[in-house]
């Protein structure tokens, strides 16, 4: 299903709300929603520190919830919105879940695997290709991350 | 911690027991154990179909269990034994969990990301490098997969 720019921004704002949940718990603020037929069927936020789980990135939490919602490991006809470019693990998971489209807000030059360090989602050798769109609410998505790391650096100076 | 060849084969046999659990449920038979100080602290087997969860590969299940066991997302001083070379998602997860060493039985030429398609675990650009060893009970690990896919092809002919 195709969404208008207004709809995409609306879903990215929901992903940003998820990122705020991470922020409130002093976690790296990344949020994600998975949309099917215009409805959000999975939400996720980075909760690695809170849950003490290395794999608990926003996308993995959202995919797990969406899989449970549809009762199937395949997330056909879904669009995944995430505030920051997915890492290697999450890009792999998106392909494994057969998600056809990913829209991310801002790139991650250091760890991104959807065009930056790697381009896992569009790798012709893998058995599922994912369409990638970027730049939806890019500044807002990048700002949440920048503020978090700035605050962390300042806190370190005080420690 | 370093293990002798005999110890490594013992842990890989435990990973093979996990793969047998997948096989019994008609899942792609891959198993994994995570070892710390000579003790298994996490076990996993591929359970994608049973649980309807795209991310439920053997390594993810084992990492989740090991994280819960130590109460920390970092799996320092652990060795991960897996019957088949990890995919992109699982290789990313292994790095994120800061696991220092991976031993896999047989390579996966089509989807392996620890030396075959990609070499995620030894990528100098990522913030954690993982030592990789291969070939422990290689034939047994490969055989479980081969028998599974052979039986599946024969079943398809009958369908």
The answer to whether the beta carbons of residues B104 and B85 sit under 8 Å apart is yes
Banded model confidence at residue A155, pLDDT cuts 50, 70, 90: confident
Which of A134, A95, A94 shows the shortest CA–CA distance to A115? A134
Contact between A106 and A142 (Cβ < 8 Å): yes
Looking at residue B127, its pLDDT comes to 83
Cα separation, A11 vs B57, in Å, equals 29
Q: Do A71 and B49 touch (CB under 8 A)?
A: no
- The whole-number pLDDT of residue B155 equals 86
CB–CB contact A54 B60 (8 Å): no
**pLDDT tens readout for residues B66-111:** 999 999 999 999 999 999 999 999 999 999 999 999 999 999 999 9
Nearest to A60 among B55, B67, B72 (CB): B55
- pLDDT digit string, tens, across residues A101-150: 999 999 999 999 999 999 999 999 998 999 999 999 999 999 999 999 99
Q: What is the mean pLDDT of residues B13-42?
A: 97
Residue with tokens 């489209």: A101
Q: What are the backbone dihedrals phi and psi of residue A79, each rounded to the nearest 5 degrees, phi first?
A: -120, 130
d(CA A96, CA A101): 13
Q: Are A75 and A66 in contact (CB under 8 A)?
A: yes
Who contacts B156 (Cβ-Cβ below 8 Å, separation ≥6)?
Answer: none
What band does A159 get if pLDDT is binned at 50, 70 and 90? confident
Interface of A with B in 17-46 (CB under 8 A): none
A92 with B96: Cβ contact below 8 A: no
Give the pLDDT of residue A157: 86
In tens, the pLDDT along B137-157 reads 999 999 999 999 998 898 888
Distance set, CA B151 to CA B30, B46, B143 (Å)? 16, 18, 12
Q: Which pLDDT belongs to residue B48?
A: 97
Residues 6+ apart with CB under 8 A from A6: none
Give the active site residue among A6, A7, A14, A59: A59
Report ipTM for this prediction.
0.96
**pLDDT, chain A, mean:** 96
Interface contact B126, partner A, CB < 8 A: yes
| pTM score | 0.96
Looking at residue A158, its pLDDT comes to 82
């Amino acid at each position: 299903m195709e969404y208008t720019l207004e709809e995409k921004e609306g879903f990215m704002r929901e992903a940003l709300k998820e990122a705020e949940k991470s922020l409130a718990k002093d976690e790296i603020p990344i949020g994600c929603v998975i949309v099917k037929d215009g409805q959000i069927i999975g939400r996720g936020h980075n909760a690695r520190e809170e849950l003490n789980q290395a794999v608990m990135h926003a996308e993995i939490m959202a995919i797990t919830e969406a899989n449970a919602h549809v009762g199937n490991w395949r997330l056909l006809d879904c669009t995944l919105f995430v505030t920051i470019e997915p890492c290697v693990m999450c890009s792999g998971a998106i392909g494994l879940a057969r998600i056809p489209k990913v829209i991310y807000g801002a790139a991650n030059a250091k760890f991104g695997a959807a065009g930056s360090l790697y381009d896992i989602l569009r790798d012709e050798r893998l058995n599922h290709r994912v369409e990638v769109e970027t730049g939806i609410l890019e500044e807002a998505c990048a700002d949440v991350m920048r503020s978090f790391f700035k605050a962390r650096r300042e806190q370190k100076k005080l420690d």
